[in-house]
Amino acid sequence: MFKTLARRTLAGALLLGTTPLSAAVIEPVNDEKLAVVEVRHANPSSYFMSQPPELLISTGTGSTLLNVNQKYRFLPAASSFLQLRQNNSLPSYNLQTSVQLTSGKTHIFDVPQLEFSWADQAFAVEVGPIPKMEVRQAHYAQPFARFPLNQEGLGSKNPYLALGVLPGTYEVSYAIVKPFKTMATGTTQWGLSQTFALQEADVPERSTMRFHSVEKKTYADAVIPACQGSPVYVWGSSGGLPAAEFKTVHNLALAANKSFHDVRFYASPHGTPISYFAQFGSIQVPISVAPGKRGEIEIKRLDVNQVKVVREDQTEYLAPSTFRVQQKRADGTMFDYELTYFECGSKLSTFNAPAGLYLPPGDYKITMNYKTAEGPKVKVIEVTL
């Protein structure tokens, strides 16, 4: 039972009050306001490998993977751990930062991008060191991402690369081999991207080796070993570079029936010469071209038919024949030719006629084995290509 009392203030207003007769009653109100978090990507399809990176947020209660365009609610925190990770690309990478979650506020993490573009074929190379790019956060000694700049290594035909990152300042450097001399810096914020136009300023001028090949083939190519490949290729020593940074072999596309084939390579990046060779089966021809210049070599074609045998009555026939080829070197010694391929155990040194072989210019001896009614025969032919 409550007793209601009334009293008048000095201003004359009437106040009503209640006087409890037994105990106090408390009715608390919890006016808690959570922080709201949402992740967005401006253009998800533009990312490298077309896979947006993931965002994870860690609070006192654990880590949460933030799916795109969904709202998450967290207790306010002065410092929460935010991690961006890209696992769908090679190499994978991750970045970390801390964010403040404010009570009653919606935090939109619109992931910024680092966008890299360059002129088509600007860094293309058929054999030799692969141009690469390193990306690091400012004031960090180690890059968090390294990418080859050749379209083949990026898995894309477009000279473009986009990385999802966190807000901050980033440095990009690129070249053939270290030390990098070209560096660009850009800053990103939530919802804002940074664009880098990569130039060839720090890339040594490429050398070119032009291989002139015959236009017509009299007979089909020689049998190709099971490991496949090209009968002529260009290769270079990696000079201690990792395999991912050096394109070791380039096969000449002789089947295209072009009159010449150009092979681009870096002869001496940053003053360090690299040895290159043109490989015709087992015959090596050293390539010596100054940086930025073009060398030329003729690809000769040796076509060998079956031996024509003339009978006593002057009739003719072609006897099934096999042949071997030897190259005469400058010192007069003979070198056995084998059709072989880079890092391939299959070799052919005896060929069934008719057959055609690609050889460098030089003096050769062809030894043919066949049979007539008189028995096994050997025929030796010398030729200069």
Higher-pLDDT residue of 317, 23: 317
Q: Is 14 a residue whose pLDDT tops 50?
A: no
- What residue has token string 């896979």? 51
| In the chain, % of residues over pLDDT 90 | 47
Q: In which region does residue 154 sit, left (phi positive, over 0), alpha (psi from -120 to 50) or beta (all else)?
A: alpha
How far apart, in whole angstroms, are the C-alpha atoms of residue 55 and residue 58? 10
- Is the pLDDT at 304 greater than 60? The verdict is yes
Long-range contact list for 315-321, CB < 8 A, 24+ apart? 319/370, 319/371, 319/372, 319/377, 320/352, 320/353, 320/370, 320/371, 321/352, 321/353, 321/368, 321/369, 321/370
pLDDT in tens, 147-172: 888 777 777 777 888 999 999 999 99
Specify which residues 91 forms β-bridges with.
none
Tokens for 237, please give them: 């020593």
CATH code for the domain defined by 114-197: 2.60.40
Q: For the chain, which residues make up each domain, given as ranges?
A: 35-109, 114-197, 207-298, 303-384
Task: Identify the residue with better confidence: 178 or 294.
Answer: 294
H helix or E strand, kind and range, residue 151: helix 151-154
Q: For 242-263, how does the pLDDT look when each residue is reduced to its tens digit (9 = 90+)? A: 777 888 889 888 866 678 999 9
Q: Are strands 355-359 and 363-372 parallel, antiparallel or unpaired?
A: unpaired
pLDDT of residue 20: 56
pLDDT at 29: 64
Under a CB-based contact definition with an 8 Å cutoff, are residues 280 and 222 in contact? no
AA letter at 139: H
Residues 329-383 have pLDDT tens digits of 989 899 999 987 766 777 889 999 999 999 999 999 999 999 998 999 999 999 9
